[in-house]
Structures are given as C-alpha cells and as structure tokens.
Structure 1
Amino acid sequence: MRAVRLSPQGLDLKVDFPPPQPTENEVLVRVLKAGICETDLQLIHGYMGFRGTLGHEFVGVAESGRYAGQRVVGAINCACGVCETCQQNRPHHCPHRSVLGILDRDGAFADKLVLPERNLYPVDDSIPTEHAVFVEPLAAALRILEQVPIDSRHRVLILGDGRLGNLCAQAIATTGANLAVVGKHPEKLALLINEGITTHLLDNLDLSKRADIVVDCTGSENGFSTALKLVRPEGTIVLKTTVAGEQTTQLWPVVVDEVKVIGSRCGNFVPALEALRQHRVNVAPMISAIRPLEDYHAAFDDARRKNMIKVLFHISD
C-alpha cells in the first residue's frame, strides 16, 4: 500500500509499504480523505521525535467490526484500558497509550490504518466526506467548552486565524460570548467575518482592553507571551497548539496576575459530529486544496503557506 512516512531523512512516499495488521479488537480502515494539521508540521520539525506514517485527521470505511462498510472517523488516543488512568475514565491521558500518527502508531496518510473498534464513530450520511475530516480538530476545539465555563458575560480573544483558530472561534461563538479573533492574515480573517465573528489584525490591536479568556491557536513560539499581554489579571489562557521550537517566555506575569493556564488537547467526537450534522459549524470555506497522496510534497508546501487554511489528501473513493 501507499504511505507517507517520516524518517530522519525527511518525508517519503512508500508505494509498497506493508498494510497494517489489526490485532484483537482492532479494525482495519480504508482511508478516504485525510487532513494536514499544525501538529503534522511540527512533527516534521522534530516534535515528539515521531517516526512513521503521519496523519491523524481522517475519514474512512471500516472493513470489519460493527461498522463494517460504513464511513467512520476515529479518536486518535489508543489507551490500554486497564491502567489506573483508564479506570478513572481518562483514557486520553493513559500513560501507555499510542496516538495515531503522533506516538507509536502509524497514521492516516496511507491507504489503510488500524484503530481499536471503540475509537471509531460512524459518520451520518448527511455529512460530506471532506467535511467529516474536520471531526477530530473540531472535537479539540469544542474541548475548550468542557474545560472553561464561557457565556455571554465573558470577553474572549482567540489568537491565530488558521485552521484551529477558525474552528475554536466557531465553537466558542455558540456560547454568545463577546468574541474576537486576532490574526495576521486579512484573507483568513475574512472567512470569520463571513460567519459573523469579530476580527482584529494583530498590529492594530488595543492592548489596553484585556480579555477574560485568551485562547492560543497560533502554533508559534510567541503565542503564549502574546496571550499574557492580552489576558486580564485572574483571567484564563487556554493553550491549544503544540510547538517544536524552544519557548523562553518569562512566567512571572502568571504569578503576579494570578493567571490560570489550561492545556487543551483532544475532545469528544459525538458533539463534533452533531455540530457538523446540524450545520452549526461551517468548514467548507476552510478547504484550500485537495491533493492526491502522490503530491505529498506539494500538499505540505500548501499547508505551510500563509494564505492556505486546510489541505486535504484524497486517498480513495
């Protein structure tokens, strides 16, 4: 089968890579489409030291199990199910977990992948395949609402106008909060304006008007330091992105201003699927390009371009 592999030498497309072999309680999935995200770009730069097949945002067709023949998406954290953390219903933090395309498990930029059956979720017929690719990052965006109480009383700033920032903005907009997105790219901010979301160019932002909650979706080494300048005393910063580079932010403002810092990673797929089914989140304008797997170099080049938001791989029909 085909697989885009990351090695110490960089990215390479293997055309005769052995198909994965599901173990007990695992399901083989034929991948239809998959999306490139910021984490994939950071992995290429050395984040997590990952080696293997990249990709964790996907929709495919289950080839066995209770969803055989159906389109499915998959939660990326594969827990052991027996440790103390798993027994406390925190499988996404299982110390023995593998993570699709990120940690000790080959990912979705391939013809086929395997996941535990309990990780799979069927996709409603009303959701187009290219939209279903967004379930994983949308679930991560909605995770913020599980961690931080947000309502119409709160002033919220989202830093970053890219793929994750857009989804976080649309998720938080459902709360009625006083929301704005801060970015550097007018063409990306325009997509949010079309959704009725207030935007600001970073260079024009009034730093005196501090927010109750700041969400860092920049994927930048400077994201956290910028968030500290924008959050009010006793406010909250939510960190949504992973960065491979060194971060040297001074932490004394966290102490002096008593700022809460919350890490936020993966979320529940059920509300994400429902949000897509009910058209409460609009992902179609975010799709900048769809490329075949053979064009992996061009696809990653696209994903790095500032004017691009979401780049998808078309892997099979």
Structure 2
Amino acid sequence: MKALRFEDERLRLADVPAPSREGEAVVRVRLAGVCNTDLEIVRGYAGFRGTLGHEFVGVIERAPGAAELKGRRVVGEINAGCGACALCRAGDSRHCPARTVLGIRGRDGAFAEALQLPAVNLLPVPDEVTDERAVFCEPLAAACAIIERVNVTEEMRVAVVGDGKLGLLCAQALKVLTGARVTLVGKHTSKLRIARRRDIETFKIEELPPSFDRAFDVTVEASGSPRGF
C-alpha cells in the first residue's frame, strides 16, 4: 500500500506492507488531517521515523475479537497502551510509559491507505457526521479535555493563547460548552477573523492592553511555543 513516510530526514511516498500487527483492528483511511505536530516531526520533534499522521476517519476492515465493528466508520484514540501496567489496568492507557502513539511514537500513522489500532481505541462515527467534520475529533477531544480538568462556568473569563487549529477549537469548545466569555489571542488576522465570526473576542498580540494579563480567571496556552507563556 502507499504511505507518506518520514525517513532519512525527508518525506517520501513509499510502497509499504499492509498492516499486520496481530490482534489489532485494521482501518481503511478515508480522510486524514495535517497537524502542526506532523510539521514539527519533520523538523526533528520526537525523533519519529515512519508513516506520519494521527488525525483520521476511516472504515474498519478487520477487528479481531470485535467482528461487529467491521464496516463501521470510526475515529480513534491515538495512544495504545501496553495493557499490563498499573496505568493501563486503571483505564489510563494514554499515560502508559510503554505506549505507542499513532504517527508519533513507535506506530505508523494515518497518512497511508490503512492503519492499525487496538479495537478498543476505535469509536464509531454517527451517520450524520461527515468525514470532513469527524477528522477533527482528535484535536477537538484535546480541547474538550480542558473542561474535564478545570471547572469553567459561564460567569468566568477565559483567554486562549494561540490562533492555530487547536487554539480555534479550544476557544469554540469553551464558549459553546460553558457559556464563558472567551478571548482568543494570536498573530494571524485571517485566523482571528474565523473566531470573530463565531462571536469570540480576539486580540492580536501587539494590540494587547496593559491590563490584559490580570483580566482572566483561566488562561489556556495553545500556541505550542515558549513565547506563548
């Protein structure tokens, strides 16, 4: 099958064997998203070598032990734990020290005709959700995880720093799910315009008022850069 590989410090389209990891599901990829993490890997982040890509939607071709999933359209949790350590046994495989991570750590990713993950990692997509929306599930889940960790209420003010894809998703998720007043801070006029169309207050970095750093109850750093702090 065809796959986009990062090897020998360069990207190349390669013919590679079909997924064959025993006991795992095989997913035929329908659509994959490009994340800034993919770009950073090409620049040297994480030392990954192999098939890139971790945002995807696809159809299950094979699912050992879960035959009822065959043919289902799915997205996936990208962290695959060892299944044996204390964290995995406690249901927290995302922090397993021996985990593989789709397209990032020890596991070929979604920029290919097919990928493999444990069946337990795969989540069916409702019929009414298009591929173009479902492919955002992985970064949107990261945005929604903020609300699991921080009690954000509608009377609070929240700042999101960084107007990339994750920052835009964080700002929208916080506004819609909590009703809080959200302000997005970034560098790109075109991206900030997207947020304003959704009634989210925006500022360019160079336009911040002096009182800005003390105006918020919660700040979300989504720039991925030390300068964001």
Category of TM-score, reference length = shorter chain: over 0.9
Output the amino acid matched with 2:184: V
Looking at structure 1, the residues matched to 206 and 71 of structure 2 have their Cα atoms a distance apart, in angstroms, of 50
Q: Which residue of 2 aligns with 1:268?
A: none
Higher relative contact order (CA 8 A, sep 6+): 1
Q: Which residue of 1 aligns with 2:181?
A: 178
Alignment match of 1:189 (pick from 174, 183, 192): 192
- Residue 95 (str. 1) matches residue 97 (str. 2): yes
Are the equivalent residues in 1 in contact too, given 2:9–2:42 (CA < 8 A)? Answer: no
Q: Which residue of 2 aligns with 1:161?
A: 163
- Residue 212 (str. 1) matches residue 211 (str. 2): no
Q: Which residue of 2 aligns with 1:243?
A: none
Looking at structure 2, the residues matched to 48 and 154 of structure 1 have their Cα atoms a distance apart, in angstroms, of 36
Q: Which residue of 2 aligns with 1:58?
A: 56
Measure how far apart 1:162 and its partner are. Answer: 1.4
Output the amino acid matched with 2:223: T
Instruction: Please show how residues 192-271 of structure 1 align to structure 2 within 5 Å.
Output: 192-209=195-212, 210=214, 211-224=216-229
Measure how far apart 1:22 and its partner are. Answer: 3.2
Looking at structure 1, the residues matched to 55 and 140 of structure 2 have their Cα atoms a distance apart, in angstroms, of 10
Q: Give the secondary structure class of the aligned counterpart of 2:133.
A: helix
- Residue 110 (str. 1) matches residue 112 (str. 2): yes
Identity over aligned residues, as a percent?
Answer: 50
Measure how far apart 1:185 and its partner are. Answer: 1.4
- Residue 81 (str. 1) matches residue 83 (str. 2): yes
Looking at structure 2, the residues matched to 207 and 29 of structure 1 have their Cα atoms a distance apart, in angstroms, of 51
4+ residue runs of structure 1 moved beyond 2 angstroms?
A: none
Q: Which residue of 2 aligns with 1:9?
A: 9
Looking at structure 1, the residues matched to 76 and 62 of structure 2 have their Cα atoms a distance apart, in angstroms, of 14
Looking at structure 2, the residues matched to 59 and 176 of structure 1 have their Cα atoms a distance apart, in angstroms, of 29
Q: Give the secondary structure class of the aligned counterpart of 2:56.
A: strand
The one-character-per-residue Cα deviations of 1:74-125 (angstroms, maximum 9, x if unpaired) are 1100011221111222110011110000000000000010010000011111
Looking at structure 1, the residues matched to 222 and 99 of structure 2 have their Cα atoms a distance apart, in angstroms, of 25
When the two chains are superposed, the root-mean-square deviation of aligned CA atoms in Å is 1.1
Are the equivalent residues in 2 in contact too, given 1:38–1:219 (CA < 8 A)? Answer: no
Measure how far apart 1:7 and its partner are. Answer: 1.4
Looking at structure 2, the residues matched to 143 and 7 of structure 1 have their Cα atoms a distance apart, in angstroms, of 33
Looking at structure 1, the residues matched to 111 and 196 of structure 2 have their Cα atoms a distance apart, in angstroms, of 32
Mark the runs of 5 or more structure 1 residues left unpaired by the alignment. 225-317
The one-character-per-residue Cα deviations of 1:15-38 (angstroms, maximum 9, x if unpaired) are x211111311x1111000000011
Mark the runs of 5 or more structure 2 residues left unpaired by the alignment. none
Measure how far apart 1:223 and its partner are. Answer: 1.4
Measure how far apart 1:160 and its partner are. Answer: 1.1
Looking at structure 2, the residues matched to 214 and 57 of structure 1 have their Cα atoms a distance apart, in angstroms, of 26
Single out whichever of 160-169 and 214-223 deviates more from structure 2: 214-223
Q: TM-score normalised to the size of structure 1?
A: 0.68
- Residue 125 (str. 1) matches residue 130 (str. 2): no
Are the equivalent residues in 1 in contact too, given 2:153–2:179 (CA < 8 A)? Answer: yes
Looking at structure 1, the residues matched to 35 and 138 of structure 2 have their Cα atoms a distance apart, in angstroms, of 10
Measure how far apart 1:221 and its partner are. Answer: 3.3
Q: Give the secondary structure class of the aligned counterpart of 1:63.
A: strand
Q: TM-score normalised to the size of structure 2?
A: 0.94
Q: Give the secondary structure class of the aligned counterpart of 2:32.
A: strand
- Residue 146 (str. 1) matches residue 151 (str. 2): no
Looking at structure 1, the residues matched to 3 and 205 of structure 2 have their Cα atoms a distance apart, in angstroms, of 39
Output the amino acid matched with 1:59: V
